[in-house]
Amino acid sequence: MSEHAKVHHKLERSRLERSREEAINLMMRQQIQPHFLFNALATLKTLIVKDPGMAQNYLVQLSDFLRITIASVKNGELASIDQEIKLCEDYLNMQKIRFGEALHYQVDVSLDVREKQLPIFSIQPLVDNVLKHNSFTVQNPVRICVDERDGWIVVRNNKNIQYQKVESNGSGLRNLVERYKYLFVQGVEIDESNDFFEVRIRIL
Protein backbone atom coordinates (compact mmCIF):
# COMPACT_ATOMS: atom_id res chain seq x y z
CA MET A 1 0.00 0.00 0.00
CA SER A 2 1.43 3.41 -1.00
CA GLU A 3 1.97 6.19 1.54
CA HIS A 4 -0.86 8.17 -0.04
CA ALA A 5 -3.20 5.20 0.29
CA LYS A 6 -2.15 4.67 3.91
CA VAL A 7 -2.87 8.30 4.77
CA HIS A 8 -6.23 8.12 3.01
CA HIS A 9 -7.07 4.93 4.90
CA LYS A 10 -6.17 6.51 8.25
CA LEU A 11 -8.24 9.61 7.49
CA GLU A 12 -11.24 7.51 6.46
CA ARG A 13 -10.89 5.36 9.57
CA SER A 14 -10.73 8.49 11.71
CA ARG A 15 -13.84 9.90 10.02
CA LEU A 16 -15.76 6.69 10.58
CA GLU A 17 -14.64 6.57 14.21
CA ARG A 18 -16.02 10.07 14.77
CA SER A 19 -19.23 9.10 12.99
CA ARG A 20 -19.53 6.02 15.19
CA GLU A 21 -19.11 8.04 18.38
CA GLU A 22 -21.60 10.64 17.19
CA ALA A 23 -24.05 7.90 16.24
CA ILE A 24 -23.85 6.21 19.63
CA ASN A 25 -24.26 9.53 21.43
CA LEU A 26 -27.23 10.36 19.22
CA MET A 27 -28.82 6.98 19.84
CA MET A 28 -28.44 7.46 23.58
CA ARG A 29 -30.08 10.89 23.44
CA GLN A 30 -32.89 9.55 21.27
CA GLN A 31 -33.58 6.64 23.59
CA ILE A 32 -34.17 8.89 26.61
CA GLN A 33 -35.47 12.02 24.97
CA PRO A 34 -37.79 14.34 26.92
CA HIS A 35 -40.93 13.74 24.87
CA PHE A 36 -40.63 9.97 25.38
CA LEU A 37 -40.29 10.34 29.15
CA PHE A 38 -43.11 12.90 29.24
CA ASN A 39 -45.45 10.56 27.36
CA ALA A 40 -44.39 7.60 29.49
CA LEU A 41 -45.01 9.43 32.76
CA ALA A 42 -48.34 10.82 31.51
CA THR A 43 -49.45 7.31 30.57
CA LEU A 44 -48.32 6.00 33.96
CA LYS A 45 -50.24 8.75 35.77
CA THR A 46 -53.44 7.84 33.91
CA LEU A 47 -52.99 4.13 34.57
CA ILE A 48 -52.45 4.64 38.31
CA VAL A 49 -55.98 6.06 38.50
CA LYS A 50 -57.71 3.74 36.02
CA ASP A 51 -55.85 0.44 36.44
CA PRO A 52 -53.25 0.19 39.24
CA GLY A 53 -52.30 -3.35 38.22
CA MET A 54 -51.58 -2.28 34.66
CA ALA A 55 -49.70 0.75 36.00
CA GLN A 56 -47.39 -1.58 37.91
CA ASN A 57 -46.77 -3.64 34.78
CA TYR A 58 -46.10 -0.48 32.76
CA LEU A 59 -43.62 0.75 35.35
CA VAL A 60 -41.73 -2.56 35.17
CA GLN A 61 -41.54 -2.25 31.37
CA LEU A 62 -40.32 1.33 31.61
CA SER A 63 -37.70 0.44 34.23
CA ASP A 64 -36.42 -2.45 32.12
CA PHE A 65 -36.27 -0.25 29.04
CA LEU A 66 -34.24 2.47 30.77
CA ARG A 67 -31.95 -0.05 32.49
CA ILE A 68 -31.14 -1.87 29.25
CA THR A 69 -30.64 1.43 27.42
CA ILE A 70 -28.07 2.67 29.93
CA ALA A 71 -26.34 -0.71 30.22
CA SER A 72 -26.06 -1.04 26.44
CA VAL A 73 -24.00 2.12 26.12
CA LYS A 74 -21.52 0.86 28.72
CA ASN A 75 -21.13 -2.49 26.97
CA GLY A 76 -19.68 -1.16 23.71
CA GLU A 77 -20.83 -0.69 20.14
CA LEU A 78 -22.37 -4.15 19.64
CA ALA A 79 -25.19 -5.92 21.44
CA SER A 80 -26.72 -9.36 21.19
CA ILE A 81 -29.85 -9.58 19.09
CA ASP A 82 -31.58 -10.99 22.16
CA GLN A 83 -30.81 -7.77 24.05
CA GLU A 84 -31.95 -5.65 21.11
CA ILE A 85 -35.19 -7.64 20.87
CA LYS A 86 -35.79 -7.27 24.61
CA LEU A 87 -35.36 -3.50 24.35
CA CYS A 88 -37.72 -3.42 21.37
CA GLU A 89 -40.34 -5.56 23.11
CA ASP A 90 -40.27 -3.44 26.28
CA TYR A 91 -40.84 -0.38 24.11
CA LEU A 92 -43.62 -2.01 22.09
CA ASN A 93 -45.33 -3.30 25.22
CA MET A 94 -45.41 0.23 26.63
CA GLN A 95 -46.78 1.62 23.38
CA LYS A 96 -49.39 -1.14 23.25
CA ILE A 97 -50.64 -0.09 26.68
CA ARG A 98 -50.77 3.50 25.45
CA PHE A 99 -52.38 2.95 22.02
CA GLY A 100 -54.34 -0.26 22.59
CA GLU A 101 -55.86 -1.85 19.48
CA ALA A 102 -54.49 0.94 17.28
CA LEU A 103 -51.14 -0.89 17.45
CA HIS A 104 -50.50 -4.49 16.47
CA TYR A 105 -47.06 -6.06 16.46
CA GLN A 106 -45.32 -9.38 16.06
CA VAL A 107 -41.73 -10.31 16.91
CA ASP A 108 -40.51 -13.59 15.43
CA VAL A 109 -36.76 -14.12 15.78
CA SER A 110 -35.40 -17.61 16.52
CA LEU A 111 -33.31 -18.38 19.59
CA ASP A 112 -30.18 -19.31 17.63
CA VAL A 113 -30.24 -15.98 15.79
CA ARG A 114 -30.70 -14.11 19.07
CA GLU A 115 -27.19 -15.17 20.10
CA LYS A 116 -25.69 -13.15 17.24
CA GLN A 117 -25.02 -9.41 17.24
CA LEU A 118 -26.12 -6.04 15.89
CA PRO A 119 -24.91 -2.49 16.47
CA ILE A 120 -26.48 -1.24 19.69
CA PHE A 121 -29.83 0.56 19.43
CA SER A 122 -30.58 -0.85 15.98
CA ILE A 123 -34.11 -2.22 16.17
CA GLN A 124 -36.06 -0.04 18.62
CA PRO A 125 -35.34 3.27 16.83
CA LEU A 126 -36.71 1.74 13.62
CA VAL A 127 -39.91 0.79 15.44
CA ASP A 128 -40.08 4.27 16.97
CA ASN A 129 -39.83 5.75 13.47
CA VAL A 130 -42.89 3.73 12.43
CA LEU A 131 -44.97 5.29 15.20
CA LYS A 132 -43.61 8.78 14.49
CA HIS A 133 -44.29 8.78 10.78
CA ASN A 134 -47.63 6.98 10.55
CA SER A 135 -51.16 7.87 11.55
CA PHE A 136 -53.08 5.02 13.19
CA THR A 137 -56.39 4.40 14.92
CA VAL A 138 -58.36 1.41 16.20
CA GLN A 139 -60.20 1.39 12.86
CA ASN A 140 -56.96 1.68 10.89
CA PRO A 141 -54.19 0.23 13.07
CA VAL A 142 -50.47 0.22 12.41
CA ARG A 143 -49.00 -3.27 12.09
CA ILE A 144 -45.33 -3.84 12.83
CA CYS A 145 -43.47 -7.07 12.18
CA VAL A 146 -39.92 -7.77 13.36
CA ASP A 147 -38.44 -10.99 12.03
CA GLU A 148 -35.36 -12.56 10.46
CA ARG A 149 -34.69 -13.30 6.81
CA ASP A 150 -31.55 -14.72 5.20
CA GLY A 151 -29.05 -13.08 7.55
CA TRP A 152 -31.02 -9.89 8.12
CA ILE A 153 -33.32 -8.55 10.83
CA VAL A 154 -36.37 -7.09 9.10
CA VAL A 155 -38.66 -4.36 10.46
CA ARG A 156 -41.77 -3.99 8.30
CA ASN A 157 -44.96 -1.98 8.68
CA ASN A 158 -48.04 -1.00 6.75
CA LYS A 159 -48.01 2.62 5.61
CA ASN A 160 -50.45 5.32 6.57
CA ILE A 161 -48.22 8.37 6.37
CA GLN A 162 -48.71 11.13 8.91
CA TYR A 163 -48.44 14.41 7.07
CA GLN A 164 -48.21 16.57 10.16
CA LYS A 165 -44.68 17.71 10.93
CA VAL A 166 -42.88 15.39 13.34
CA GLU A 167 -39.71 15.92 15.35
CA SER A 168 -37.47 13.82 13.17
CA ASN A 169 -34.89 14.49 10.48
CA GLY A 170 -33.96 10.93 9.61
CA SER A 171 -30.63 11.19 11.42
CA GLY A 172 -31.21 7.95 13.34
CA LEU A 173 -31.35 5.84 10.18
CA ARG A 174 -28.43 7.71 8.61
CA ASN A 175 -26.31 7.13 11.69
CA LEU A 176 -27.16 3.45 11.68
CA VAL A 177 -25.80 3.33 8.11
CA GLU A 178 -22.64 5.11 9.30
CA ARG A 179 -22.11 2.66 12.13
CA TYR A 180 -22.25 -0.25 9.72
CA LYS A 181 -19.71 1.56 7.53
CA TYR A 182 -17.39 1.69 10.53
CA LEU A 183 -17.67 -2.10 10.66
CA PHE A 184 -16.97 -2.21 6.89
CA VAL A 185 -20.35 -3.81 6.26
CA GLN A 186 -23.11 -2.73 3.90
CA GLY A 187 -25.66 -3.21 6.61
CA VAL A 188 -28.89 -1.34 5.84
CA GLU A 189 -31.40 -1.89 3.04
CA ILE A 190 -34.74 -0.11 2.55
CA ASP A 191 -37.72 -1.26 0.52
CA GLU A 192 -41.09 0.42 0.24
CA SER A 193 -44.26 0.65 -1.78
CA ASN A 194 -47.52 2.53 -1.44
CA ASP A 195 -48.62 -0.07 1.11
CA PHE A 196 -45.56 -0.94 3.21
CA PHE A 197 -42.18 0.25 4.45
CA GLU A 198 -39.37 -2.16 5.28
CA VAL A 199 -35.88 -1.74 6.72
CA ARG A 200 -33.41 -4.63 6.78
CA ILE A 201 -30.31 -4.58 8.97
CA ARG A 202 -27.56 -7.15 8.55
CA ILE A 203 -26.86 -9.62 11.34
CA LEU A 204 -23.18 -9.57 12.33
Q: Do the domain assignments include residue 25? A: no
Mean pLDDT (whole number) for 185-196: 92
Q: Do the domain assignments include residue 148? A: yes
Angle between helices 171-182 and 124-133 (to 10 degrees): 160
Q: Do the domain assignments include residue 135? A: yes
Which CATH number is 96's domain given?
A: 3.30.565.10
Question: 95: pLDDT confidence band, cut at 50, 70 and 90?
Answer: very high
Whether 121 has a pLDDT exceeding 80, the answer reads: yes
Q: Do the domain assignments include residue 133? A: yes
* Helix, strand, or coil (residue 185): coil
Question: 109: pLDDT confidence band, cut at 50, 70 and 90?
Answer: very high
Q: Do the domain assignments include residue 24? A: no
- Confidence at residue 65, expressed as pLDDT on a 0 to 100 scale: 86
Report which residue type is found at 138: V
Distance of CA 133 to the CA centre of its chain: 14
- Confidence at residue 72, expressed as pLDDT on a 0 to 100 scale: 67
Alpha-carbon span 82 to 62, nearest angstrom:
18
- Confidence at residue 171, expressed as pLDDT on a 0 to 100 scale: 61
Q: What percent of the chain has pLDDT over 90?
A: 50
pLDDT per position as a tens digit, 133-157? 999 999 999 999 999 999 999 999 9
Cα 2 to Cα 5, 7, 16, 43, 87: the distances in Å are 5, 9, 21, 60, 45
- Confidence at residue 182, expressed as pLDDT on a 0 to 100 scale: 76
- Taking all residues of the chain, what is their mean pLDDT, rounded to a whole number? 84
The secondary element (H helix, E strand) that includes residue 22 is helix 3-31
> pTM of the prediction?
0.78
- Of 28-37, 48-57, 66-75, give the range with the top mean pLDDT: 48-57
Q: Do the domain assignments include residue 14? A: no
Tally of domains within the chain: 1
Q: Do the domain assignments include residue 82? A: yes
Range of the domain at 185: 31-202
Pairwise pLDDT comparison (84 vs 1), residue with the higher score: 84
SS3 readout for 102-115? HEEEEEECCHHHHC
Q: Do the domain assignments include residue 91? A: yes
Whether 158 has a pLDDT exceeding 90, the answer reads: yes
Residues 188 and 129 sit within 8 Å (Cβ to Cβ): no
Residue 26: CA atoms inside 13 Å, Cβ hemisphere, count? 19
- Confidence at residue 31, expressed as pLDDT on a 0 to 100 scale: 52
Whether 17 has a pLDDT exceeding 70, the answer reads: no
